[in-house]
Amino acid sequence: MTDWSDDISMGDYGTATREFMGMRIDPLVFFPTALISLVVIVYSVLAPEQSAKTFSDIRVWATTTFDWFLMSSGNLLLLFCVVVALSPLGRIRLGGKGATPDYSRMSWFAMLFGAGMGIGLVFYGVSEPVTHFTHAMAGGAAAPLNGAAGDAAISRDLAMAATIFDWSLHPWAIFAVAGLAMAVFAYDYGMPLSMRSPFYPLFGKAVWGRTGDVIDVLSVFATIFGLASSLGIGAQQAMAGITYLYGIPSTPLAILALIGIMSFVTFLSVRGGIDRGIRILSEINMWMALGLLLFVMLTGSALTLLWDIGRNSWEYLIHLPALSNPVGRTDQGFYRDWSVFYWAWWISWAPFVGSFMARISLGRTVREFIGGAMIAPTVLGIIWLTIFGDASIAAIVSGKAPALSSASLETQLFVLLGALPWAQVTSFVSVVLILVFFVTGWDSGTLVIDMMTAGGRTDTPLRQKVIWLFAVGGIGVVLLLSGGLNSLQAGAIATGLPLALVLVLMCGGTLKGLLTLHRRG
Spatial distance between the Cα atoms of 78 and 74, rounded to a whole number of angstroms: 6
Provide φ and ψ at 195, rounded to 5°. -65, -20
The answer to whether 120 and 348 have CB atoms below 8 angstroms apart is no
The residue among 118, 160, 150, 413 whose CA lies nearest residue 307 is 160
The answer to whether 411 and 402 have CB atoms below 8 angstroms apart is no
- Decide: helix, strand or coil at residue 479: helix
pLDDT of the residue at 201: 94
Provide φ and ψ at 142, rounded to 5°. -90, 5
Which residues lie closer than 8 Å to 165 by C-beta, 6 or more apart? 316, 319, 320, 323, 324, 339
Dihedral (Cα; 86, 327, 135, 151), 10-degree rounding: -80
Spatial distance between the Cα atoms of 371 and 366, rounded to a whole number of angstroms: 8
- β-partners of residue 18 are 25
Distance between start and end Cα atoms, the chain: 20
- Decide: helix, strand or coil at residue 111: helix
pLDDT of the residue at 1: 42
The answer to whether 133 and 396 have CB atoms below 8 angstroms apart is yes
pLDDT of the residue at 512: 95
Q: How far is CA 507 from CA 182, 387, 460, in A?
A: 11, 35, 30
The answer to whether 114 and 286 have CB atoms below 8 angstroms apart is yes
Spatial distance between the Cα atoms of 498 and 489, rounded to a whole number of angstroms: 15
Residues 155-179 have pLDDT tens digits of 888 889 999 999 999 999 999 999 9
153 C-beta neighbours (distance < 10 Å), count = 8
Residue type (1 letter), 411: T
pLDDT of the residue at 362: 93
Q: How far is CA 77 from CA 65, 322, 345, 504, 509, in A?
A: 21, 17, 15, 7, 13
Which residues lie closer than 8 Å to 417 by C-beta, 6 or more apart? 296, 423, 426, 427, 430
- β-partners of residue 19 are 24
pLDDT of the residue at 137: 55
Number of H helices, E strands in the chain: 19, 2
pLDDT of the residue at 510: 97
- Decide: helix, strand or coil at residue 216: helix
pLDDT by residue for the chain (521 residues), tens only, comes to 456 777 777 665 654 566 666 667 778 888 888 888 788 778 877 887 887 788 778 878 888 889 999 999 999 999 999 999 999 999 999 999 889 988 888 878 777 766 556 678 888 899 999 988 887 655 554 455 555 545 666 688 888 999 999 999 999 999 999 999 999 999 999 888 889 999 999 998 888 888 988 998 888 888 888 777 777 878 888 898 899 888 899 888 898 898 888 888 888 877 776 666 667 777 787 788 889 999 999 987 878 888 999 999 999 999 999 999 998 887 877 888 888 888 988 898 898 888 888 988 999 999 999 998 888 888 888 999 999 999 999 998 888 888 888 888 889 999 999 989 999 999 999 998 888 888 877 887 788 888 888 877 777 888 888 888 888 888 777 777 776 666 667 777 778 888 999 999 999 999 999 999 999 87
- β-partners of residue 24 are 19
pLDDT of the residue at 43: 83
pTM of the model: 0.88
- Decide: helix, strand or coil at residue 93: strand
Which residues lie closer than 8 Å to 441 by C-beta, 6 or more apart? 114, 115, 118, 119, 227, 230, 231, 234
Name the DSSP class of 92. Answer: P
The residue among 363, 218, 388 whose CA lies nearest residue 295 is 388
